[in-house]
Structure 1
């Protein structure tokens, strides 16, 4: 039900403004993600490592003005972390290391305001706006470990995560086609997961390359 509502809202935004669409496009890249797992009842002295996950977006520009436009991104994003653990036996003898990788996947919708300045065929820009991430699935992976996986917490993510997205980019236009590069902070304002004992928060920095098609000639 929540997935249907999420898709309806996203599609309604696009359909309502279809006559004002300037361009459509696809962009994909890497999300450099990390998480903090904050327990209320235990102290965990561990440093988590950031992980790279793929991120993919369908994008459309609306209401194009001289310096301003509205952008709608609908895409797929993964968030998570990695943790390397030293393994010992019952008497403390070193046995090796194990890597634990956590991954939360989402469908994301990001409406943004975009400020751009055109210089011939180039157009550098700033952008920002809210985002809503709808939880799809959770997956973890443990390598080189013979112990039972139930040693680790395996939570489902919150159904929807709200936050803000902001960043910089540059676009090159040749005829009706364009190439773009973006760097953004996909900043969450609500936790990835939270209950009485555990709160998970995260950081996400995304870099993407994209291809655009302009519906109207200059």
Structure 2
């Protein structure tokens, strides 16, 4: 319920500001995130077995022009991060333990602040986006497995994930193309500056790519 109220408030503010000419474009974008995590074991030479997983992302966005080349874009929304696990669990009798799912899913709220650089002014205009992303972890879904003999169910990474930092800060790099100022297609990369988890034996950091399609809603009525 809290997340829904935040999204409604953000959309209301964007619509209100647009009538005051504070912003030039506002709308939504949806797409796919492609994320993993780097697990750095400090005391033992163990490589991270985590692979990339796909997820959903959806944002409200508002943009303000500063001349013909630069604009500032703010986005607020939801993104799924996490990783695909490749670790095989072996029971005491040597058989493989079946897992319920293969992905650790982190449900994050995210705020993007980006400087958009448009070197060409045309109907189909390429652009570069450089900025920051702040994430806030609201919930997660762990990998579950069942112990064959007892039938008891366990979470694989919960003991670590429950101690994750709620807030993280990272960079935001994007390449995209604006199509008649109405629709845009964008590829983005989000390397984290801060760590999800860090102690004497282990540090964990997000790594995320994304592809999204955006629509500037106010341009539909022009």
For 2:189, the equivalent position in structure 1 comes to 185
Q: CA deviation at 1:89?
A: 4.2
Q: Is the 8 A contact 1:105 1:137 kept in 2?
A: yes
CA 74–46 in structure 1, closer or farther in 2 if over 3 Å, else same: closer
Q: Kindly indicate whether residue 36 of structure 2 is the aligned counterpart of residue 34 of structure 1.
A: yes
Q: Is the 8 A contact 1:22 1:64 kept in 2?
A: no
Q: Is the 8 A contact 1:24 1:59 kept in 2?
A: yes
**Structure 2, unpaired ranges of 5+:** none
Task: Give SS of 2:161's match.
Answer: coil
1:53-101 alpha-carbon deviations (Å, 9 max, x no partner): 111111111134211111111111121111123344435x444664542
Q: Distance in 2 between matches of 1:128 and 1:212?
A: 20
Q: CA deviation at 1:118?
A: 4.0
Deviates more, 1:31-40 or 1:151-160: 151-160
User: Residues 42-191 of structure 1 correspond to what in structure 2 (within 5 A)?
Assistant: 42=44, 44-90=46-92, 93-95=94-96, 98=99, 100-142=102-144, 146=148, 148-149=153-154, 152=157, 153-156=159-162, 157-173=164-180, 178-191=182-195
1:169-194 alpha-carbon deviations (Å, 9 max, x no partner): 00112xxx611100011111001222
Q: Distance in 1 between matches of 2:217 and 2:205?
A: 36
CA 211–217 in structure 1, closer or farther in 2 if over 3 Å, else same: closer
Q: CA deviation at 1:215?
A: 5.7
Q: Is the 8 A contact 2:170 2:192 kept in 1?
A: yes
Q: Distance in 2 between matches of 1:143 and 1:179?
A: 43
Q: Is the 8 A contact 2:91 2:97 kept in 1?
A: no
Q: Is the 8 A contact 2:40 2:48 kept in 1?
A: no
Q: Is the 8 A contact 2:29 2:58 kept in 1?
A: yes
TM-score, normalised relative to structure 1: 0.79
Q: Is the 8 A contact 2:27 2:60 kept in 1?
A: yes
Deviates more, 1:100-109 or 1:40-49: 40-49
More strand by share: 1
Q: Is the 8 A contact 1:158 1:194 kept in 2?
A: no
**Structure 1, unpaired ranges of 5+:** none
TM-score, normalised relative to structure 2: 0.78
